[in-house]
Amino acid sequence: MSQSMRGEGAELIGKVLGRRYEIIERIGGGGMAIVFKARDGFLNRRVAVKVLRAQFADDEDFVRRFRHEAQAAASLSHPNIVSIYDVGEEDGTYYIVMEFVDGETLKDRIIKAAPLDPQEVVSVAAQIGQALSHAHQNRIVHRDIKPHNIMIAKDGRVKVTDFGIARAATTSTLTTTGSIVGSVHYFSPEQARGGLIDEKSDIYSLGVVLYEMLTAKLPFEGESPITVALKHVQEQVVPPNQADPKVPEGLSRVVMKALRKLQSERYQTVGELLRDLQRAARGESIPEVPPDLSPTLIVQGPLVPRGKGRRMRPAVAGAVRWAAIAVAGLVLIVGLRVVADWFNVPTVMVPNLTGHTRTEAETALANLGLKMKIVGDGEYNKDVPSGAISRQDPSASDQVKEGRTVQVWLSLGPKVVPVPNLAGRTEREAEVLLQGANLVRGQRNTDYSNEVQENYIISQSPNPGTELREGAAVDIVVSQGPRPEAFPLPDYSGETWQNVQVRLSQVKLVTGDLSTQMSERPIGTVLRTVPVAGSPVRPGDKVSLVVSRGGYTTVHTYLYTFSAPTDAPQQQIRVLLIDALGTRVIYDRLHDAGDPINFEVKWIGTSGTIRTMANGKEIGTVPLK
């Protein structure tokens, strides 16, 4: 099976980057990088790891832009901006470690529920705006605001991500000649023209996002990215309340001002836009925005008489004639150059389109002078999200002539299958049924059952007949047979506590807490149990022991203080106490390297010893007297 069919980045699953970040699964991707869910083994938390696509690792420009994303985002600290934790490189793999947001993209939300309720639109836009306002105050322009780069956590919090093409807001903030940076449907006119980009460019893109949330439509659509880009420059936006009459007039006017073609006519700051949004949400009046007419330049000379009794006519100045001659000469030169170029068509390398949306692929190909054709009605693919490209022809990295058409197949996402009935089956039978349905076994739990034979399945989740995506997990509960009959707890008093532990395990009982009490009986002798002897118990129940510490009247206290070793990122620290009661574990926890550790040790007798273990290796002893 080809790499594109398995899903790009599959080779990284299970790999540990930087001896710390274990890659778990792919959760997204863009034109420059793939995003994975990972576990930070050092801090034991979930993180997102963005990995630069392999085909760009040797391209200094892409590596520079990738590192710039980390620098740009890391310089910002705001609750509505995804935090950057780390950045690194390992064996040619460049990666950024960032905050993991458990939720969905705004694009997912729009696809599922748009047009959104106006109150929700205002809430989401306000949080996006607060993030942008913070970035702009730090002289950073995002330049690629779109629903795909906005995460909505399960608690409703909005997070802006992907500062990969952000730039400092200076006069040098221009698009690169010959390539348009950003996403064409959310472009500002100045981005489409290759002009000066500033904070008001982000405001325009936010206006497009607002438009899409309110109407479930984009301001401009077209058959190619170039067509859409030209519409941003030349065509009028249909007001949101005309595209959908349910959109309140005030919100429609806010959007239309954000979408003005000229930067000077838009909101000048995000704060101004947010204030009008709040006013519109309260039902207050918002000034009407006049039509955004593209100016038409008319060249006209002074009026001179044509002759006696004749109408006046405009004079054609000599400068205009010379300009016409110059233009004609330029056209001739360009024409000759074009004819020459017909015989020397340059070649380009086909980009990897797998996992990208149709719009992203069209933009990437158009920037290289290539075309795109969608083949068929789609195909199921569990590794590629629905609507994204699952495979392509020619393949990625192939060299082709400019103007070539690249065929692509769109993914329908994982195939949906009904969950089989697993009740009453053995685990092996259940695994065969799940494999046949392209599902996997999930969590395994056990329970007692008087109806279902031991080692057979009692129940499952989800229920039989539920439709799941291929590859999804089904949890099962396996029978342990009938619940054991209760029996009276034996009387263990007078025995050593070590011996009682063995006897409890023999009847499938679990040793619980161990406490001590002064007694005339020898040290370590069991005085009583909790519950008391004769109480009804079943296998699996916990029994605590009260043990004699002899006739000692003093319980000694020692303050034990040390630091976890630093020879490994994490250390399993176990402390054993040896005193008159014998040997027992008094501390067993996982610590980060260098963590300070201190606690009170209570011991009895005339002497004792504390032994400390780190990751199974003894690192020191302390005598007690």
Which helix H or strand E contains 510, and what residues bound it?
A: strand 510-517
Residue 302's pLDDT is: 34
Q: In whole angstroms, what is the distance from residue 211 CA to residue 310 CA?
A: 55
* CATH of segment(s) 487-548: 3.30.10.20
DSSP state of 485: P
How far is residue 103's CA from residue 113's CA, in Å, rounded to a whole number? 15
Beta carbons of 273 and 254 less than 8 angstroms apart: yes
Domain ranges of the chain: 1-100, 103-281, 348-410, 416-479, 487-548, 556-624
Residue 356 near residue 8, CB atoms below 8 Å:
no
Question: How large a percentage of the chain has pLDDT more than 90?
Answer: 46
Domain 416-479 -> CATH class: alpha beta
Model confidence pLDDT, tens digit, residues 582-613: 788 899 898 988 899 999 998 888 889 999 99
Position with higher pLDDT, 172 vs 328: 328
- By C-alpha distance, which of 624, 603, 607 is closest to 555? 603
At 370 the pLDDT is 93
From the list 557, 578, 585, 573, the residue with the least C-alpha distance to 619 is 573
- Residue 180: pLDDT band (50, 70, 90) is very low
Q: What's the pLDDT band for 424 if we cut at 50, 70, 90?
A: very high
SS3 content of the chain, % helix, strand, coil (to 5): 30, 30, 40
Average pLDDT, the chain: 84
Reported confidence tier of residue 552, pLDDT bands at 50, 70, 90: low
Domain 348-410 has CATH 1.10.760.10: no
CATH topology agreement for domains 103-281 and 556-624 = no
Q: Examine the residue annotation and report whether 144 is marked as an active-site residue of this protein.
A: yes
Instruction: State the SS3 of 255-312.
Output: HHHHCCCCHHHCCCCHHHHHHHHHHHHCCCCCCCCCCCCCCCCCCCCCEEECCCCCCE
Structure tokens, 319: 């400068």
Q: Give pLDDT tens digits for 268-315.
A: 999 999 999 999 998 899 998 887 754 433 333 333 333 344 443 443
Q: For 147-164, what is each residue's pLDDT tens digit?
A: 999 999 998 899 999 875
Architecture of domain 556-624: Sandwich (2.60)
Q: Mean pLDDT across the stretch 216-232?
A: 91
Q: Which CATH code fits 1-100?
A: 3.30.200.20
Sign of CA dihedral 490, 491, 495, 497: positive
The whole-number pLDDT of residue 464 equals: 93
Determine the average pLDDT of the residues in 362-375: 91
**pLDDT at residue 237, rounded to an integer:** 95
CATH code for the structural domain at 103-281: 1.10.510.10
Exactly one of 144, 198, 202, 383 is catalytic; which is it? 144
Identify the pLDDT of residue 299: 31
